[in-house]
Structure 1
Amino acid sequence: MKMSMFFKIILLALAFLLLLIVVRYFICIDRANTRLNSYTKMTSSINTSFGKMTYIDKGSGEAVLICHGICGGYDQAYDALKNRLDDYRIIAPSRFGYIGSDMPQNATVKDQAKAYKELLDKLEIDKVYVLATSAGGTPAIRFALDYPERTKGLILYCSSMPYSVKPDTNEEYVGPPKQVCNNFTMWLISPLFEPLMGMDRSTINEILPINEKRDGIVFDSKVVNTDMNKNFDQYNVENLKVPTIVFNAKDDKMAVYSRTKSSVERFPNCTFISFESGGHLMTGNENKINSELDKFIDKYK
């Protein structure tokens, strides 16, 4: 009898714990959707050769095209410079497969760069600074290589970088496993963000909802994040015709400092700004970043 009561208590405790998990999950999703809706109100869309592209166009001053990272979208792109609307015109599109933008069949990074060009054509913007965060580095570098006449300068925030020498093996998939590319699983594993990626678990609030971004995440993992490896010879950054500034923190677990430092040497006109700490989001270095960004843009505008 006592044993039966014990198991009932255990089952009730487990049921309560499960209910608590579900409630916390739905609260988080609701907040994420509310947050995203606040950005959606600012968006516009165009039709490109590759389908629909949704973007935010806000601010005044020198135009900056922002290439967001993995698990992002126009919201993440906008956030990169949202506090600088009085200084810069922010062009913040969702990349292929992310919220509001179509996922073309058999798309390439060159296609993404061309889609950016079509957006600038539509907005009647002749030249821009191109700013990339994280996985957005690959399409940003591709754009600068393919369209130097449309690029005033390249700005890389803890972004993916080309290898210093050609790798011996090809990468096939670099990113979250497909099995975790859904709202619940990503939320459930968010406590692992700190040990695995050096980012606070609260970052989940900025990347949810994931379900609507799954196609973009898989495309990044299969194509974007492997492109500078598989097509090393096509990323001849030594021939870049535009100036570059690179920001990186020494404790970044995603854009590893040693690779960034060796890669920077390949860029012909490059300023390298490093931080002792701050992780992948360069937390705590905002004033220095803004100062160096302003100097770079003022110099080459």
Structure 2
Amino acid sequence: MFYALFKKNLSAARERILASGIKTANTRLGKIEYIAFGKGLPVLWIHGIVGGADQGIISSEPLVDRDFRIIAVSRFGYIGSPLPVNATPAAQADLYAALLDALKIPKVAVVGFSSGAPSALQFALRHPDRCSSLILLSGAVPPYTEPPHILRIIAKIFFGSDFIFWILIKYFPSIMMRLMGVPKPVQKRLSAVDKEWLDDTMFSFLPVRLRVNGIINDIWVTNPDLNKGYPFQELTIPTLIIHAVDDPMPSFKTAKRIAAQIPRSKFVTIESGGHLHMGHHLMVRTSITNFILSTKETKASVPVLEQAFT
């Protein structure tokens, strides 16, 4: 019965991917998976670790207004997006531009979450003419300590096993939430709506072995790339950074310091919500919506602004 339940949940996960509307674009720079939904101003939605285009609706629903057209991608090594030899954030950013060419979309607002931040930043730096605004949610920051090689083997076993991941999701959800960056104090005050969203999000990680190559690449290539020293001061795009003080993953202080280096930035502080901004989704949604709408035609320089939410 125990194993039968696992197989049932895994089968449901595979069916969810098939029903998600996921497509593969054959661009001038190679293949990339994506889904597109909604109508209005286009928004490129870049997932974090253990993500994928198939999660686009689940992950963006509480944070992005449905009056936008969301283009959610699968980054290198996730689901059906290939993992090239040169799987760097810069190469990934160029592939985003190629995808926009294939979809005939001239310009987008870009939202990068967690490990999606490096390629979002590279897109804004390398293709500023294609980027109307940049939003970083709990974005990865330097310095990033690359784990020792022995842990790469362990990570491949852990993230390559749907069964191990399913056990954590099904029977140890608190541990899984902490791995997702939701601190225990935040877990204790979750609303029923937030609990349901987290549960759906955790099960959307399955099948995790379809994401293992992307996860490994994020840990040993994508995030360490930030250590090369990104020229944040050269960003010309209006930028919104939203970060929680109690985020156990990327440093809040470093995120705030990076915002100060970006000429046209706004920094929003969440006092307590963890990596996923739990309890503040409506505020995040409003901030993102207002920022995209206010910057779609903005050309003048704007000062660094700060806003805090508790």
TM-score, length-scaled by structure 2: 0.80
CA-CA distance at 1:117 after TM superposition? 0.3
Which residue does 2:271 correspond to in 1? 276
Aligned partners of 1:122 and 1:217: how far apart in 2? 26
Could you tell me which of 30, 37, 46 is aligned with 2:25?
46
Contact kept in structure 2, 1:59 and 1:90, CA below 8 Å: yes
Which residue does 2:140 correspond to in 1? 160
Q: Write out aligned runs for 1:58-97 (5 A).
A: 58-82=37-61, 84=64, 86-97=66-77
Which residue does 2:117 correspond to in 1? 137
Which residue does 2:204 correspond to in 1? 206
Aligned partners of 2:79 and 2:7: how far apart in 1? 20
Aligned partners of 1:128 and 1:282: how far apart in 2? 24
What is the DSSP-based 3-state SS (H/G/I as helix, E as strand, rest coil) of the residue aligned with 2:121? helix
Which residue does 1:11 correspond to in 2? none
CA-CA distance at 1:286 after TM superposition? 1.8
What is the DSSP-based 3-state SS (H/G/I as helix, E as strand, rest coil) of the residue aligned with 2:211? helix
The amino acid of 1:45's aligned partner reads T
RMSD: 2.4
Go from structure 1 to structure 2 and tell me whether the alpha carbon gap of 1:107 and 1:86 turns closer, same or farther (over 3 Å shift). closer
For residues 198-255 of structure 1, what are the alpha-carbon distances to aligned partners after superposition, in whole Å with 9 as ceiling and x for unaligned? 44783431211111111111111111011001x11xx101110101001112222223
Aligned partners of 1:228 and 1:87: how far apart in 2? 33
Aligned partners of 2:231 and 2:147: how far apart in 1? 19
Q: How many residues align?
A: 273
Aligned partners of 1:101 and 1:48: how far apart in 2? 12
Aligned partners of 2:223 and 2:261: how far apart in 1? 19
Which residue does 1:177 correspond to in 2? 155
What is the DSSP-based 3-state SS (H/G/I as helix, E as strand, rest coil) of the residue aligned with 1:279? coil
Aligned partners of 2:213 and 2:155: how far apart in 1? 12
For residues 104-156 of structure 1, what are the alpha-carbon distances to aligned partners after superposition, in whole Å with 9 as ceiling and x for unaligned? 12322211011000000111111111101111001000100101111101011
Rg larger for: 1
Aligned partners of 1:77 and 1:226: how far apart in 2? 25
Which residue does 1:252 correspond to in 2? 247
TM-score, length-scaled by structure 1: 0.82
Long gaps (5+) in structure 2: 188-197, 297-310
Could you tell me which of 97, 105, 117 is aligned with 1:125?
105
Aligned partners of 2:275 and 2:206: how far apart in 1? 18
Aligned partners of 1:103 and 1:162: how far apart in 2? 23
Which residue does 1:37 correspond to in 2? 18
CA-CA distance at 1:51 after TM superposition? 2.9
The amino acid of 2:243's aligned partner reads N
What is the DSSP-based 3-state SS (H/G/I as helix, E as strand, rest coil) of the residue aligned with 2:223? helix
Long gaps (5+) in structure 1: 1-18
CA-CA distance at 1:185 after TM superposition? 2.2
